[in-house]
Amino acid sequence: MCAYRITGEDFETYQRDGFFVVRSLFDVEEMSLLHQAVEVDKSLSEAAYEVHDTQGGTAKLAIWNGAGDDLYGLVARSERIVNTMERLLDGEVYHWHSKMTIKDPYTGGAWEWHQDYGYWYSYACLYPDLATCWIAVDKATQENGCLQVLVGSHRLGRIDHAPAGATQSGADPERVEAAMKILKREFCELESGDAIFFHSNLLHCSGLNKSPSPRWGFLCCYNAARNSPYKVIRHPQYSPLAKVPDTAIKEAGLKLVNQDYRKASHYQLVK
Tens-place pLDDT, residues 158-214: 999 987 766 678 999 999 999 999 999 999 999 999 999 999 999 999 999 999 999
Task: Kindly list the domain boundaries of the chain, sorted by start residue.
Answer: 15-252
Please state which of the ranges 104-113, 140-149, 160-169 shows the lowest mean pLDDT: 160-169
Q: Which CATH superfamily is domain 15-252 in?
A: q2cbj1_9rhob like domain (2.60.120.620)
Instruction: Check residue 124 and give left, alpha or beta (phi > 0: left; psi -120 to 50: alpha).
Output: left
Average pLDDT over residues 50-69: 87
Q: What is the mean pLDDT of the chain?
A: 91
| Residue 43's pLDDT band (cuts 50, 70, 90) | confident
Average pLDDT over residues 94-107: 94
Average pLDDT over residues 31-35: 95
Portion of the chain with pLDDT greater than 90, in percent: 76
Distance CA 83, CA 127 (A): 20
Residues whose CB is less than 8 angstroms from the CB of residue 32 and which lie 6 or more positions away in sequence, other chains included: none
Backbone angles phi, psi at 171, to 5 degrees: -70, 150
Three-state DSSP state, 228 = coil
In this structure, the dihedral spanned by the alpha carbons of residues 155, 84, 99 and 18, taken in order and rounded to 10 degrees, is 20
Q: Find out whether 138 and 39 touch, Cβ atoms under 8 Å.
A: no
Model-level pTM? 0.93
Q: Which of 206, 256, 227, 253 is nearest to 61 (CA)?
A: 206
pLDDT of residue 265: 38
pLDDT of residue 263: 47
Distance CA 216, CA 37 (A): 12
